[in-house]
Structure 1
Amino acid sequence: MNAFFMCFSAGASFLLSFLLFFHPLRENLTANKWLALFVSIMGSAFLGIYLNHTEIGESHPGFIQWINGLQFILPPSLFLSTQFFINPVKVLSKKDWIHFVPFLIFLFLQVVFAGDHAIFMKAKLFEIGNTSFLFRDILPFQLLLYLCLSYLLLLRHKKNLRKITASIQEIDLNWLSNFLLILTVILIFWINDTLFGIPFLIGVMPIIYTASIFFLAYFSIRQRTVFAFNKKDLKDISTFLESPAKDQLQKTERLNDQQFALLSAKLNELMTKERLFLDNNLSLPMLADQLEISIHDTSYLINRLTEGNFYHFINRLRVEEARQLLSSNRVEELNMLGIAFASGFNSKTTFNTAFKKYAGISPSAYVKQQRTT
């Protein structure tokens, strides 16, 4: 039965890898290719577990060790995939290849010990109590490190999104956070198999691995394009997000007093007369085009005027518009979703979250409050 689950997990992983590499919706192409590499190597690991208990594993141990060695590519491929999801215009640099040094060390040792069936993968490094820590046991802890690094990247990404857009729910990469969470579950069972050997966990491990692949597939196919901008705006956004926060907030020389006054007046006109904040797809690059200045200068202008970022600036205006609509007769003809769209929000979830944040109560509670006063 364990053999069945391992084979099934391997096949499902290879299928998911194929779908990610040739993504049918052409979303996040480079990021998905790295993610496909990660999933395919995970599939090869499941295949290696199965083969290790067959005649192939007994007669060709070196081949199994090659399969196991590929797992040193798992962590960097996941980390680079995360980086490309966050920054679609990223270019691989020399320092990125440093992440593959463990795999190169493996290749060196594999060549050196090839005549001895590559037994170095089972070589004992040290002991923890009665448990021997083998060379191959480095693998789950290497992945644990990169899982943490990837999660930290996602946290920074979610914070950065508020600098360029007023609606983050569709592009906050929550699906990738869930993807990492499922990988953490797999990792817990892997570390148990490596160090602790709790019988119950080992017994259910094949089932957990198989179920995890389905959840990984579910979350990965829910992805959408993170930054739906043209190449020029993407490069500007990348530069803007990578620049230190103090450069964006403290460089008052970006705009002199005359420029600041003129642009403040123009921004006020765009918001009060043209009511640009009602555009559901409004973003920092779009506002910068209207002001005819750079993304950096637009962000600086908003920061200096409001002491907040683009997200707070636009959503405060939208919540104020929603409050007026909820207090008017239009609340009878529009449902909450209609109020949300009429106020500039592009989803009910975003509307509810922002309204609670800036009004202090939910939209429905606000309506009840208005009716009783």
Structure 2
Amino acid sequence: MLAKSGAEKMEVYHSIMVTGFTPSPIWISLGIGLIAVTYTVLSIRMIIRYLNHLKKTRSSIDPSFHRWLLFLSSTLLIPIVITVITRLVGATTLPFPVVVFALSLLIFIIYGTFLLQPKFFDKFQYQIDDQEIEEVNSIEKYQNSNLQNNQKSEYLEKIIKYMDSEKPYLDPELTILQFSNTVDIPTYYVSQIINEQLECNFIDFVNRYRIDEIKVKLEDPKLNHFKILNLAYDSGFNSKTAFYYAFKKHVDMTPGAYRKENQLSTA
């Protein structure tokens, strides 16, 4: 194309504008589509697995981040889907407006994501180091643990006492690795005890304390001049979405409704 003369380039451009792009043979198009779909599915699967990993190791995550990430990954299929539909309806060429529409839609979505969720284009959230990966791999094997019942009771008491006295849940960046190092209990034992004895994962365990912390604040009329979100940040949450999601899950009502209901009952 670069070696063509100006007149020849104009002829090619005019041909595309009038007749559209001539697609590759169908077997090539299907192969490219299959590769694109495979990579997209694997990307979505990796995002879901990573989210499950965070639930086991982090005390606070923003679910909206992963929903947006899943959405953005899915939109990469737009050009492929439009191409496949065009071929299935029997078109021998891809009309230029269709190609422009597909690419414009993709660019619009990426640009819109940049405006609404700029953190996607910054450092990826929740970086995991090699030590944590090794610890988490051990967590998956705790079903085969030889931890005795008396040890479980001892560790559980130690964990609860530390949570009540030191309130580590007020740190929004708390991880299970940091927690286990502080209480001097192996990470996989911490995970095992929380899962078996308290029937929840690490993030739910920590969020229970955060919810109890903010419930006391919401019930206090003296704190009415504080916004609920500010109280949430003071209780260990690090995002609005994560807070409202956790509160609704544990209390089954919104924070605003809880504040109104409990202050009316004590008036």
TM-score by length of 1: 0.57
Identify which of 213, 217, 222 aligns with 2:119: 222
Partner AA of 1:232 in structure 2: Q
CA contact (8 A) 1:284 1:310 kept: yes
In 2, distance between residues paired with 1:201 and 1:317?
A: 58
Identify which of 265, 283, 286 aligns with 2:175: 283
Deviation at 1:134, TM superposition (A): 2.9
Please say if 1:212 is aligned against 2:106. yes
CA contact (8 A) 1:158 1:172 kept: no
CA deviation map 1:229-256 (0-9, x unaligned): 544234434x257x4xxx34x3341x22
CA deviation map 1:264-304 (0-9, x unaligned): 12111111111111222111111111122332221112112
Partner AA of 1:168 in structure 2: I
1:189 aligns with: 82
Partner AA of 2:156 in structure 1: S
In 1, distance between residues paired with 2:258 and 2:81?
A: 45
Tell me the secondary structure at the aligned position of residue 77 of structure 2.
helix
Tell me the secondary structure at the aligned position of residue 49 of structure 2.
helix
2:6 aligns with: none
Tell me the secondary structure at the aligned position of residue 226 of structure 2.
coil
Note the aligned Cα RMSD (angstroms). 3.2
In 1, distance between residues paired with 2:50 and 2:65?
A: 7
In 2, distance between residues paired with 1:282 and 1:163?
A: 12
2:131 aligns with: 232
In 2, distance between residues paired with 1:227 and 1:252?
A: 28
CA deviation map 1:339-371 (0-9, x unaligned): 101211112221111111111100001111113
In 2, distance between residues paired with 1:202 and 1:137?
A: 20
Partner AA of 2:257 in structure 1: A
Identify which of 178, 182, 207 aligns with 1:315: 207
CA contact (8 A) 2:86 2:94 kept: no
Please say if 1:345 is aligned against 2:237. yes
Deviation at 1:178, TM superposition (A): 2.5
Partner AA of 2:119 in structure 1: R
In 2, distance between residues paired with 1:135 and 1:186?
A: 15
Tell me the secondary structure at the aligned position of residue 166 of structure 2.
coil
CA contact (8 A) 2:63 2:241 kept: no
Deviation at 1:197, TM superposition (A): 4.8
1:257 aligns with: 149
Partner AA of 1:206 in structure 2: V
State how 1:75-114 maps to structure 2 within 5 Å.
Answer: none
State how 1:28-67 maps to structure 2 within 5 Å.
Answer: 53=12
2:223 aligns with: 331
Please say if 1:177 is aligned against 2:70. yes
Identity among equivalent positions (%) equals 23
Size of the aligned set, in residue pairs, is 244
CA contact (8 A) 1:263 1:291 kept: no
Deviation at 1:323, TM superposition (A): 0.9
In 2, distance between residues paired with 1:365 and 1:171?
A: 22
CA deviation map 1:111-132 (0-9, x unaligned): xxxxxxxxxx74xxxxxxxxxx
In 1, distance between residues paired with 2:159 and 2:80?
A: 50
Identify which of 33, 37, 50 aligns with 1:157: 50
CA contact (8 A) 2:83 2:94 kept: no
CA contact (8 A) 1:162 1:310 kept: yes
Partner AA of 1:345 in structure 2: F
Partner AA of 1:225 in structure 2: F
Q: Which has the higher contact order (CA 8 A, sep 6+)?
A: 2
Please say if 1:147 is aligned against 2:40. yes
Q: Which runs of 5+ in 1 are unaligned?
A: 1-49, 55-67, 69-120, 123-132
Deviation at 1:214, TM superposition (A): 4.8
Deviates more, 1:326-335 or 1:354-363: 326-335
CA contact (8 A) 2:221 2:263 kept: no
Taking structure 1 as reference, are residues 222 and 193 closer, same or farther at Cα in structure 2, changes over 3 Å only? farther
Taking structure 1 as reference, are residues 222 and 341 closer, same or farther at Cα in structure 2, changes over 3 Å only? closer
Partner AA of 1:339 in structure 2: L
In 1, distance between residues paired with 2:231 and 2:66?
A: 26
1:134 aligns with: 27
CA contact (8 A) 1:277 1:314 kept: yes
